Amino acid sequence: MMATAFAPDTFDRATLDIGALDIRPLTPAIGAKIHGIDLGASDIASRIPEIRAALLRHGVIFFRDQKLTQEQHIAFARGFGELEVHPATPTDQENPEVLRIAHGPDSRGQENQWHSDVTWREEPSLGSILLAREVPECGGDTLFANMHLAYERLSEEMKRFCEGLTAVHDIARVFAKRLGKTPEDLHEKFPPVCHPVIRTHPETGERAIYVNVAFTSHIEGLSPRESDWLLDHLYATAKDVEIQCRFRWRAGSIAFWDNRVCQHFAVSDYFPARRVMERVTIAGDRPYFAG
């Protein structure tokens, strides 16, 4: 159930009802660990509203020592909305909602760039719930950046300029090579889409930068040189360490991030060690900008 949207100047994260959750923030900007909760418990559905409030408050929330089956993982995610199936998921997989991301001696990690998930969809995901099945002894951390704070750090003139722009997002930029398909093949089902450069969060009303280096190809109405310059400038905002947190994985750890306001970066520093993750993704709605 979607919460009521607030205007950016009236929304107050402190008013969100997080119930009795034991929450410990990672940084003032983004991220919090939630302790003392079993996401596979039979009564977990009753905790969904407060977990959702914690997600809205912190952008990404983390849980340790979760012994979920794939079915429990899927059931927990369904508490937040409809689920989506990623085109990289094998068609004969028993649980198509689960995207398995495995790297090791024969597969170096490729997610090591700042991005939001599936922005090439007309309706990109609300969020993703990533469960660590196997992790290296060290390395393989994931970083998260608060793109609302990135927007707030732009000058007022830059905000006004960007708020009137739209950008094109293209699945082929990443997945043509990974899936062994031509861009034309992918575009038959997933044609390039346009989204606002600055999007409004549908639940909080906050504004966030909504372009990313993985999937954004260009900004409409600008020359290629202008588009490249502006995109490089906006991409770089995610690299600000003061709007980030960094999470060190253990087997059984979960990260649940709000894809509408976060970007993330999976650090691929662990090759040739193995890192096996399983992701279930909650469908979202079409991005918009409310002036």
Q: How many CA atoms lie within 13 A of 133 on its CB side?
A: 15
C-alpha to C-alpha distance for 171 and 210, rounded to whole angstroms: 15
- pLDDT above 90 coverage of the chain, percent: 86
Question: Which residues fall within 8 angstroms of residue 30, CB to CB, at 6 or more apart?
Answer: 58, 59, 60, 144, 145, 146, 149, 243, 244, 245, 262
> Which SS3 state, helix, strand or coil, does residue 199 take?
strand
pLDDT at 9 over 60: no
Asked if the bond preceding 272 is cis, omega within 30° of 0, the reply is: yes
Cα separation, 102 vs 104, in Å, equals 7
Domains of the chain: 97-248+255-282 (3.60.130.10)
Please tell me the predicted confidence (pLDDT) of residue 10.
58
Candidates 251, 267, 260, 254; CA nearest to 282 is 260
Q: What is the pLDDT of residue 34?
A: 97
Phi and psi at 114, nearest 5°, equal: -70, 130
User: Which residue is listed with tokens 């922005």?
Assistant: 119
Active site residues: 115, 117, 264, 279
Contact 277, 128 (CB under 8 A): no
Q: What is the pLDDT of residues 71-130, one digit of tens each?
A: 999 999 999 999 999 998 988 889 999 999 999 998 888 888 999 999 999 999 999 999
Q: Cα separation of 28 and 52, whole Å?
A: 19
Average of per-residue pLDDT values in the chain: 93
| The pLDDT value given to residue 273 | 94
Instruction: Round to whole Å and give the CA distance between 81 and 70.
Output: 17
Reading the block at residue 124, the tokens are 């990109």
Count how many residues are written for the chain.
291
Predicted TM-score (pTM) of this structure:
0.93
Could you read off the pLDDT of 248-283 as tens digits, one per residue?
Answer: 999 999 999 999 999 999 999 999 999 999 999 999
